[in-house]
Amino acid sequence: MNSSDDLSSTPSALLSAYSGTRPERLPVWFMRQAGRSLPEYWKVREGTEMLESCLRPELSAEITCQPVRRHGVDAAIFFSDIVIPLRLAGVDVDIVRGVGPVIGSPVRTAADVDRLTALPGGDMTAIREGVGLAVRELNGRSEPVPLIGFGGAPFTLAAYLVEGRPSRDHLAARAMMHADPAAWARLMTWAADRTAEFLLAQIDAGARAVQLFDSWAGSLSVTDYSERVAPYSARVLSAVEGLVPRVHFGTGTSEILTLMRDTGAEVVGVDHRIGLDEAVRRLGPSTVVQGNIDPALLAAPWDVLQRHVEDVINRGRSAAAHVLNLGHGVPPETDPGVLTRIVELAHAR
């Protein structure tokens, strides 16, 4: 039972699409729509550290709802960070502005892995409360808007844990999977279970879908993804199987789209590198796709961007259903008015 049961009789455009039925209205939302591109976000977050703001329920709920109020998007996505379950488990991790997640003690050896994986999962109360507050507002709208929960895929979490900070090629993490497969398996299993708990808490509090972000999966060879990463992403997605639709997203993943789908996702997020028609050709026509406006085009003149968005929509017609989104997160310097215009364009069709 959750607080969004009252929505079940009127499925939203988003949930129709996620379940494979093309709705009348093209649903649209934007990865990273909550947060850094909005002035109202910087106003409410003033004086609060990034991860701290994710753990204050009133604040995370407020930030989650801001883009829904402003843009009229078809979904909220919970404002949080993929490293939150690590922080809640007791890992020394912080978000450094201009850098990204920084880990106090990077996990480099089997002994480091043992110390880390001895940590049990953390208390998800703040997550449940934040989602619950947001869902209450979203359900109270004249047209209720579903909330998407999210979490980081085990490889992307492991890449941060092993490297200690964002890196280009994730060499240390990719070395560990070959140099010490047993330690790698323990690390990935632990990371998978932390994200699964994070997703379950969000679903329990009213999330109607979840998205698994494997931001760095595109750095992997097809073989490494298949053998040393996908099984752990499948572990996460199977933990929420049957509860809500599952979206799986990464960048630079054109070679592994079907492998990502086969971890247990009903919906595959596609970045800007290949056309949605080509993605559908690879995935087959029964997979739902999400994407893939090039974030770089958000800075182009409107007529150029409009042509691009229309091209994305046209290429998405070959899929069972399509949820319009970017191919990656909203860049921080984006003019939010441009996002509102894309929503209007999508809904006017």
Which residues sit at the interface with a copy of itself, rule CB under 8 A?
A: 168-172, 174-175, 178-179, 218-223, 252, 254-255, 272-275, 278, 294-301, 304, 308, 328, 331
Closest to 229 in 3D by CA, of 265, 192, 193: 192
Tokens of 283: 């995935």
Dihedral pair phi/psi, residue 256, rounded to 5°: -120, 20
Report the residue number, 96 or 171, with the smaller CB distance to a copy of itself: 171
Report the residue number, 285 or 301, with the smaller CB distance to a copy of itself: 301
Report the residue number, 167 or 340, with the smaller CB distance to a copy of itself: 167
CB of 11 to a copy of itself, least distance (A): 33
CB of 269 to a copy of itself, least distance (A): 16
CB of 175 to a copy of itself, least distance (A): 4
Give the H/E segment covering residue 209: strand 209-213
> What is the C-alpha separation between 110 and 239, in angstroms, rounded?
26
Report the residue number, 96 or 296, with the smaller CB distance to a copy of itself: 296
CB of 301 to a copy of itself, least distance (A): 6
CA atoms within 13 A on the CB side of 326: 19
CB of 251 to a copy of itself, least distance (A): 8
CB of 306 to a copy of itself, least distance (A): 12
For 133, 135, 175, 202, 308, the CA distances from 205, given in Å and listed in that order, are 9, 8, 38, 5, 37
DSSP at 298: G
- Return the sign of the alpha-carbon dihedral for residues 228, 229, 230, 233: positive
> What is the C-alpha separation between 101 and 216, in angstroms, rounded?
14
